[in-house]
Amino acid sequence: MLTALSAAVSGLDAYQEQMDIIGNNIANLNTTGFKSATGNLADGFSETLEAATNPSAGNLNGTNSMQIGTGVLTGSITNDWSQGGINTTNIASDLYINGNGFFQVEDQNTGAVYATQDGTFSLNNQGQLIQATTGYLVEGYNNAALSTIGGIKIDATGYTGNTPGATMTSWTINPQGVITVNMSDGSSFTRGQVLLQNFTDPQALTSVGNNNYSNLADAGPLPALSAAGSSSLSNTSIVSGALELSNVDLSAQMADLIVAQRAFEANSKIVTTSDELLQTVVNMKR
């Protein structure tokens, strides 16, 4: 009875965690670039009542082991890295990754680097391309020669025209992330390039809020930031003027929630029944 009680309590804990995970998924239904998570259950340590034995002269058939499980636990929590839908915004600084890869942003105050699939970017008053929620710098080639990696800046720096006083009038980002600046004299030039990072094990990334992930080293980053469409990101492109929607499937989450709720209720019933049985045992001694 005590084993049943402790097993049921572990079930309550595990299915509460399941509901927490599902609740967070549903809460982030409309979060840009959010990836849903799944809690995977594993059985707990089993109590062995009798060990298995091989056939012998005195026992030709041998015996199978007899074990009673002691409950359940959350074995792992994995993220679904499949791509979410596209939301067209027509804002040039909003970027959508069509395929694999992550943007890389840097906190200029601490030097910490994060990965994100939320391309909600904007330009600050210095012309730097930044993450809208944090102000972190978006990284890539930050010079016209596409040779230096750092925080990207979109301005007239690198202009090679011969028109004094020419100013930047507009800019675009192509599917490879190349930033082209258009000048008031009708000329244009390459200012920089948004680069992407890819990982061999994105499950190792750690969410730190604001749609950012840390622990990049353990996730197995590829040798360096790469351009969309390059060898490591051959089927990837960048779409300017669009954002990635959350990949949460609401109908699936609601179905999982019902299953978790029913399992929680069943485990609570085991707790109640075990308590009643223990009470009966206590009363037998009176």
Per-residue confidence (pLDDT) for residue 1, from 0 to 100? 59
pLDDT (0 to 100) of residue 90:
97
pLDDT of residue 12: 96
- CA 161 centroid distance within chain: 44
Strand 66-69 to strand 46-50: parallel, antiparallel, or no bridges (unpaired)? antiparallel
pLDDT of 56 reads: 72
Residues in the chain: 286
Instruction: Give me the tens of pLDDT residue by residue for the chain, a chain 286 residues long.
Output: 578 899 999 999 999 999 999 999 999 999 999 999 999 999 988 888 888 888 776 666 777 888 888 999 999 999 999 999 999 999 999 999 999 999 999 999 999 999 999 999 999 999 999 999 999 999 999 999 999 999 999 999 999 888 989 999 999 999 999 999 999 999 999 999 999 999 999 999 999 999 999 999 999 998 789 999 998 898 999 999 999 999 999 999 999 999 999 999 999 999 999 888 888 888 886 6
Cα 47 from chain centre: 37
What is the Cα–Cα distance from 209 to 133, expressed in whole angstroms?
10
The whole-number pLDDT of residue 285 equals: 66
- Cα(212)–Cα(210) distance, rounded to whole angstroms? 5
What HEC string does the chain produce? CHHHHHHHHHHHHHHHHHHHHHHHHHHCCCCCCCCCEEEEEEECCEEEEECCECCCCCCCCCECCEEEECCEEEEEEEECCCCCCEEECCCCCEEEEECCCEEEEECCCCCCEEEECCCEEEECCCCEEEECCCCCEEEEECCCCCCCEEECECCCCCCCCCCCCCCEEEEEECCCCEEEEEECCCCEEEEEEECEECECCHHHCEEEECCEEECCCCCCECCCCECCCCHHHCCCEEEECEEECCCCCHHHHHHHHHHHHHHHHHHHHHHHHHHHHHHHHHHHCC
pLDDT tens digit sequence for 59-102: 667 778 888 889 999 999 999 999 999 999 999 999 999 999 99
* Helical packing angle, 2-27 and 250-284, nearest 10°: 160
Predicted TM-score (pTM) of this structure: 0.88
Cβ count within 10 A of residue 153: 20
Q: Which pLDDT value is given to residue 60?
A: 66
Tell me the two tokens of residue 125: 């008053």
How far is Cα 76 from Cα 178, in angstroms, rounded to an integer? 39
Domain map of the chain by residue range? 2-80+248-284, 86-244
Q: Which two tokens stand for residue 119?
A: 């391309």
Instruction: Calculate the CA 94 to chain-centre distance.
Output: 19
C-alpha to C-alpha distance for 262 and 12, rounded to whole angstroms: 11
Cα→Cα distances 113→29, 150, 163, 212, 217, Å: 26, 11, 39, 9, 11
pLDDT of residue 106: 98
| Burial degree of 45 (CB within 10 A; 0-12, 13-18, 19+) | exposed
